[in-house]
């Protein structure tokens, strides 16, 4: 029988565990390069599946995984764009960012029908404090669209923008805001709706300027392939242009 004495290892004294920076590894661990979405969970599959508490904000990662951000989150709104989505064909989801296009108008009209599988509204690029991630917050429901206009004042406003829109405000850069939520009851429906308020805590973990500009450019210039798919759907639909 061996008389070898096992000496405990002090794991705090081991050498470096990686080659390369933390930022490089974060980049390698990204998915397909798509912008993750920010979602207020209420009566969706993540709540019914027990993955998150109703009334919490989350970042869906897959069908059965998401990051729970809690009931209240702080974000920096960086950009906005119009968006319309038809989710009825899961294999070929139709998305349009052009409010004047036939497809956007079709989706917007269909969204008025109950359980239509269609949504439209303003979409925002935001940077969330606790996750340190750029996210898309799509205000596609009625309640979200109603609250979305309260996000507009927190976006950057230049002197030119203010003059063009005849606004009574001073020029400013983007301002942080807090996304809360409240429980609404309407007939037989009980659901959570977003609430926008000013953020009282300064951001101390803002991303580098280069990263912000890069994400804004991507957000404001959707992939050509995605837009082409919408155009092809319009051309094959038989609908009048």
Q: Between 12 and 37, where is the model more confident?
A: 37
pLDDT of 239 reads 34
DSSP one-letter string for 83-112: EEEE-S-TTS-EEE--TTSHHHHHHHHHTT
Place 237 in a pLDDT band, splitting at 50, 70 and 90.
Answer: very low
158 touches 151 (CB < 8 A): no
The four Cα atoms 219, 224, 229, 231 give a dihedral, to 10 degrees, of 100
Give the separation between CA 42 and CA 157, rounded to whole angstroms: 33
Task: Yes or no: say if 48 and 157 are a contact pair by the CB < 8 Å rule.
Answer: no
Q: What is the mean pLDDT of the chain?
A: 84
pTM of the complete model:
0.80
Tell me the torsion sign for CA atoms 178, 120, 215, 44. positive
What's the pLDDT at 165? 87
Which tens digits make up the pLDDT trace of 111-166?
999 889 999 999 999 999 999 999 999 999 999 999 999 999 999 999 998 899 88
- Residues 121, 108: contact at Cβ < 8 Å? no
In angstroms, rounded to a whole number, what is the distance separating the alpha carbons of residues 42 and 192? 6
Q: Residue 13: what pLDDT?
A: 63
The pLDDT of residue 187: 74
CA–CA distance, 123 with 80 (Å, rounded to integer): 5
**Which sequence spans correspond to the domains of the chain?**
73-180+193-236
Burial (Cβ within 10 Å: 0-12, 13-18, ≥19) of residue 153: middle
């Amino acid at each position: 029988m061996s008389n070898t004495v096992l000496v405990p290892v002090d794991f705090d004294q081991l050498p470096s565990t990686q080659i390369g920076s933390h930022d490089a590894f974060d980049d390698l661990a990204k998915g397909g390069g798509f912008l993750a979405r920010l979602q207020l969970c209420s009566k969706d599959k993540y709540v019914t599946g027990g993955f998150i508490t109703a009334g919490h904000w989350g970042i869906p990662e897959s069908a059965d995984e998401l990051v729970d951000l809690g009931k209240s989150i702080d974000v920096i709104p960086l950009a906005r764009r119009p968006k319309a989505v038809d989710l009825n064909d899961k294999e070929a989801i139709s998305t349009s960012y052009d409010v004047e296009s036939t497809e956007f108008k079709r989706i917007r009209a269909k969204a008025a029908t109950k359980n239509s599988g269609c949504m439209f509204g303003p979409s925002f690029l935001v940077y969330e404090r606790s996750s340190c991630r750029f996210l898309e917050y799509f205000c596609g429901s009625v309640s979200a669209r109603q609250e979305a206009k309260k996000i507009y004042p927190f976006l950057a406003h230049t002197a030119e923008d203010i003059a063009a829109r005849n606004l009574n405000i001073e020029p400013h850069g983007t301002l942080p805001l807090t996304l809360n939520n409240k429980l609404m009851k309407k007939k037989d429906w009980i659901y959570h709706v977003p609430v926008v308020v000013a953020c009282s805590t300064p951001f101390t973990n803002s991303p580098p300027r280069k990263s912000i500009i890069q994400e804004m450019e991507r957000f404001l210039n959707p992939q050509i392939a995605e837009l082409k798919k919408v155009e092809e759907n319009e051309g094959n639909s038989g609908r009048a242009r």
